Structure 1
Amino acid sequence: MRGASRGAGGGTGTDDRGRDGHVDIAQLRDFISVVEAGSLSTAAGRLHVSQPALSQRMTQLESRLGAQLLVRGPRGVRPTPTGTALYRDAQQLVRQFDRLARDVADHRDNVHGPVAVGLPTTVAAPLAPALFDWVKHHYPGIHLQLFESMSGYIHELLLAGRLDLAAVFREDDAPRAGEVPLYSEELYLVGQPDPPPPSDDEVALSDLHAVPLVTPGANSHLRALIDRTFAAAGLRPAVVGDVESLGTMLRIAAGGQACTILPLSVVAGRGEVRGLGVRRIVDPGLRRHVAVRTTTETYEPREAVVAVRRGVVEVTERLAAQGQWPGIR
């Protein structure tokens, strides 16, 4: 899948495709803002992103085009001659794009109807608010219905036909009918095991065989992934409780009664778990893949569902590129 979500490992938004000449309209808008502001910090404030994220996006743009576009100095930034030429062309391209967007506005206003979307809790936290805004802005005629729960229940609702779309977890990113890949993410040990591992950043899977864990029940994809990964290494996880609540799992881990295994995005920015140990699991690592799936596999869903599916992809890419969804790639 094209876009930032595949290039945002560890929440940094880094794109590893190198110099391929591919530039998207969002990068051009950012570049125009930086040139006009004459300052990365000022432009970042206007764009409502962090200065490091915007600086990294400019570096990516230079890498993709194979040319220096900005001269960075203590008093701000200014475009190079190449950057000035790009600035002029970018303004024309953005204006043309905006005209095209206005041309299709009448069509999008005709797209309407309810769309039920199921999101596992670990996906809903970063995605749901941004998706809601995207739908209201691009397709005001669509009535979005968001269902948030643990992955097992979301899957049941999808199979029962009560959802039009759902984010589903996979062990690989192989193509499947009715699915569009979204991102992949590594899983982390959350909590402070006793005795603590040698590293504050990583922990080997073999060191977790005696660590008490709380996880969702056996019907969840996360629990199945944990069980299979441990079994493949000749180990058995020490699960001391099945907890079908993300918040409760975090509180148990914060209280020191047991640890849990979750993606980085779940704990990033949570003030109530500040200081809680978060270590990447290695040797082997635990990685899961996420796709957006429609109820129908043999035919294209109705237009409103297709529109929301596109929104899920676009919002995921944007959040990853801006560093607002840490830990996904």
Structure 2
Amino acid sequence: MDIAHLRDFIAVVDAGSLSRAAGRLHVSQPALSQRMAQLEARLGVRLLVRGPRGVLPTPAGTTLYRDAQQLVRQFDRLSRDVADSRNRLHGPVAVGLPTTVATPLAPALFSWVKANHPGIHLQLFESMSGYIHELLLAGRLDLAAVFREDDAPRAAEVPLYSEELYLIGRPDPAPRSAEEVSLLDLRAVPLVTPGGRSNLRALVDRAFAAKGLAPTIVADVESLGTMIRIAAGGEACTILPLSVVRDHGDPRELGVRRIVDPVLRRHIAIRTATESYEPREAVVAVREGIVEVTKRLAAEGRWPGIT
């Protein structure tokens, strides 16, 4: 088994079809099929199953796909590192940021990397937290911001900040005050939230369940901007951190209120792709930059609501 076999295997899984993968690799389909058969023979396990919808990985194939992503990325970086004789940090660093984190952090991180390590090629992936987590597990990212219920230390993670969550929207839930609303008062309030894979949705579901209730979710919305626009329209509310509301209008007009009894708080950490070895120097540098930029934005009041 060599690196070419792993590249071919990744291409087949990504394409979901031998013919499509062969076209992208500029080889014939029979030749690619033979390479996959050789790979399965060398490993002694079946890696792919062919069905009416194309080619899918077996459980063993899924494991190989995840690890092969890491190996191919490391091989490519090693080749670039050896070829690059410049005495500075360089190479690509892939960072996954959930949208609520990317909104304040990504532009400042880009500027920091450009100023401090111009040899590093930053690759920023912004999406909802569930998809970012999937990319991290698949080996597509070097670093990712992850949400936690507590700030307990974990392997391969550096704590970044914590934040409270707020109700955004105008449907009348009998608020405690103009600034606060009890979770119990929200039991009948229509809410739009991300889908079930989202950390935010899981946190909301657990908070209501602890009170013996279930939230009134009227739509799953996988877009931060769309959730805020729906809340601004007055037909439903959403639950978000204060930091992302500032760029979408006046908080008073949006009906921003702190949720209490209980306060909904989440913790954010930066996680590396693996626990088994120390990441490359460029990855460590970007991780340090994320921490430095976050502290500076908070100190300057440019990232409200975080601790």
Specify if TM > 0.5.
yes
Percent identity of equivalent pairs:
79
From the superposition, tell whether residues 109 and 277 of structure 1 become closer, same or farther in structure 2 (CA, over 3 Å). Answer: farther
Q: Work out the CA distance in 2 between the residues paired with 1:109 and 1:171.
A: 41
Q: Are 2:169 and 1:169 aligned?
A: no
Aligned to 2:107: 129
Aligned to 2:26: none
Aligned to 2:175: 197
Q: Are 2:291 and 1:313 aligned?
A: yes
Q: Deviations over 1:86-120 (max 9, x none)?
A: xxxxxxxxxxxxxxxxxxxxxx9611000000000
Say whether the 8 Å CA contact 1:250–1:273 is kept in structure 2: no
Residue 299 of structure 1: how far off its partner (Å):
1.5
Residue 162 of structure 1: how far off its partner (Å):
0.1
Aligned to 1:291: 269
Q: Deviations over 1:12-37 (max 9, x none)?
A: xxxxxxxxxxxxxxxxxxxxxxxxxx
Aligned to 1:113: 91
Equivalent residue of 1:275, what SS? helix
Say whether the 8 Å CA contact 1:109–1:141 is kept in structure 2: no
Aligned to 1:222: 200
Aligned to 1:212: 190
From the superposition, tell whether residues 136 and 238 of structure 1 become closer, same or farther in structure 2 (CA, over 3 Å). Answer: same
Say whether the 8 Å CA contact 2:180–2:260 is kept in structure 1: yes
Q: Are 2:91 and 1:139 aligned?
A: no
Q: What are structure 2's unaligned runs of at least 5 residues?
A: 1-85
Higher relative contact order structure (alpha carbons within 8 Å, sequence separation ≥ 6): 1
From the superposition, tell whether residues 272 and 109 of structure 1 become closer, same or farther in structure 2 (CA, over 3 Å). Answer: farther
Equivalent residue of 1:148, what SS? strand
Q: Work out the CA distance in 2 between the residues paired with 1:272 and 1:187.
A: 17
Say whether the 8 Å CA contact 1:185–1:288 is kept in structure 2: yes
Residue 147 of structure 1: how far off its partner (Å):
0.4
Q: Work out the CA distance in 1 between the residues paired with 2:132 and 2:173.
A: 36
- Greater Rg over alpha carbons, structure: 2
Aligned to 1:150: 128
Counterpart AA for 1:233: K
Q: Are 2:233 and 1:265 aligned?
A: no
Q: Deviations over 1:123-143 (max 9, x none)?
A: 000000000000011100000
Aligned to 1:323: 301
Residue 233 of structure 1: how far off its partner (Å):
1.2
Q: Work out the CA distance in 2 between the residues paired with 1:282 and 1:132.
A: 35
Aligned to 2:37: none
Q: Work out the CA distance in 1 between the residues paired with 2:114 and 2:183.
A: 44
What are the equivalent positions in structure 2 for 1:39-58 lying under 5 Å apart? none
Residue 257 of structure 1: how far off its partner (Å):
1.2
TM-score between both structures, scaled by the size of structure 1: 0.66
Residue 270 of structure 1: how far off its partner (Å):
2.5
Residue 194 of structure 1: how far off its partner (Å):
2.3
Equivalent residue of 2:253, what SS? coil
Q: Work out the CA distance in 1 between the residues paired with 2:169 and 2:106.
A: 26
Say whether the 8 Å CA contact 1:254–1:273 is kept in structure 2: no
Q: Work out the CA distance in 2 between the residues paired with 1:274 and 1:200.
A: 9
Aligned to 2:17: none
Q: Work out the CA distance in 1 between the residues paired with 2:248 and 2:162.
A: 21
Q: What are structure 1's unaligned runs of at least 5 residues?
A: 1-107
Say whether the 8 Å CA contact 2:192–2:218 is kept in structure 1: yes
Q: Work out the CA distance in 2 between the residues paired with 1:297 and 1:198.
A: 45
Residue of structure 2 aligned with 1:253, choices 208, 212, 231? 231
Q: Are 2:156 and 1:181 aligned?
A: no
Equivalent residue of 1:328, what SS? coil
Say whether the 8 Å CA contact 2:173–2:186 is kept in structure 1: no
Equivalent residue of 1:325, what SS? coil
Backbone CA RMSD of aligned residues = 1.3
